[in-house]
Amino acid sequence: PQPLVIAPSILSADFSRLGEEVEAIDAAGADWIHCDVMDGHFVPNISFGPDVIKAIRPRTKKVFDVHLMIAPVDPYLEAFAKAGADVITVHAEAGPHLDRSLQAIRNLGKKAGATICPATPENVLANVLDRLDLILVMSVNPGFGGQQFISSQLDKIRRIRAMIGERPIRLEVDGGVNVETAAQVAAAGADTVVAGAAVFKGGTQSAYATNIAAIRAA
Ligand code: DX5
Ligand code: ZN
């Protein structure tokens, strides 16, 4: 099997030193940098926007995996593309026009992702598979880091893996991923995992390296 891609979520970083934190997770072995954008409307929390992403973009060459928990989303896609996102993922629940959002992301020259909350059935993605580079399964209700993994999502991950078939679509899982749950989601068919609390615990680059290595070994 392909090696698991690990995408630490900077939502759990020390925001007062965000540039250094990005450099630390890069050096600690992060594959991608996961950026959680929250608007206080689609989700009950506010995080950061495109200017923050633009400011940290020069600190690493790694893939910027931008998870937009905002509604409406279409008016902001260009700003996130210009800020340096490589993958832009939108919520199927954020509006009635997922197909349009995915087309817009690819028209901006970026990889297009779609994500679904724990309660949303995967069939909302069945008619947009050709427009997708990535599917993100939320294994917590979006809005906060450090929540508990919702185990019912494991069956959904298996079903989405089957739905993807031979298509070149990454399958990423986000929320409550730690050493134990990483093994479960990888066994269910995920090839990419987001981890916030489990990577940033310890607060130093050497702790991050240990934490990332432990998830990888799982
Ligand atoms: C939740 C975010 C996640 C979250 C992951 O709304 O999309 O990326 O911060 O954090 P942990 O790994 O701590 O659940
Ligand atoms: Zn996320």
With 0.95 as the threshold, say if the pTM is over it: yes
175 lines ligand 1 (CB under 6 A): yes
Instruction: Centre a 10 Å sphere on the Cβ of residue 92 and count the other Cβ atoms it contains.
Output: 20
- Integer Cα distance of 81 and 205 in angstroms: 28
H or E element that contains 215: helix 205-217
| Bind-site residues | 9, 34, 36, 67, 143-146, 174-176
Atom of ligand 1 nearest to the CA of 11: 9
- CA of 196 from ligand 1 middle (Å) equals 6
Atom of ligand 1 nearest to the CA of 178: 12
For residue 95, the domain's CATH number is: 3.20.20.70
- Identify the active-site residue in 36, 39, 65, 191: 36
136 three-class SS: strand
Q: What are the tens digits of pLDDT across the range 54-99?
A: 999 999 999 999 999 999 999 999 999 999 999 999 999 999 999 9
Could you tell me what percent of the chain has a pLDDT over 90? 98
- CA of 61 from ligand 1 middle (Å) equals 22
What's the sign of the alpha-carbon dihedral 130, 121, 64, 23? negative
Tally of domains in the chain: 1
Q: 74 an active-site residue?
A: no
Residues 142, 82, 57: CA angle, nearest 5 degrees:
70
Rounded to an integer, the average pLDDT of 153-177 is: 98
Which structural domain, as residue segments, surrounds residue 95? 5-217
**Which residue type occupies 141?**
N
172 lines ligand 1 (CB under 6 A): no
Q: What are the tens digits of pLDDT across the range 189-200?
A: 999 999 999 999
Evaluate if residue 1 carries a pLDDT over 80.
no
195 lines ligand 1 (CB under 6 A): yes
174 lines ligand 1 (CB under 6 A): yes
What's the sign of the alpha-carbon dihedral 146, 201, 30, 64? positive
**pLDDT the model gives residue 160:** 98
Residues 111, 3, 212: CA angle, nearest 5 degrees:
95
- Integer Cα distance of 143 and 180 in angstroms: 22
Name the residue at shortest CA distance from atom 9 of ligand 1. 145
Q: Which residue intervals of 108-142 are DSSP H helices?
A: none
Evaluate if residue 20 carries a pLDDT over 70.
yes
189 three-class SS: coil
Mean pLDDT, all residues of the chain: 98
**Is 210 in contact with 202 (CB distance < 8 Å)?**
yes
**Is 45 in contact with 9 (CB distance < 8 Å)?**
no
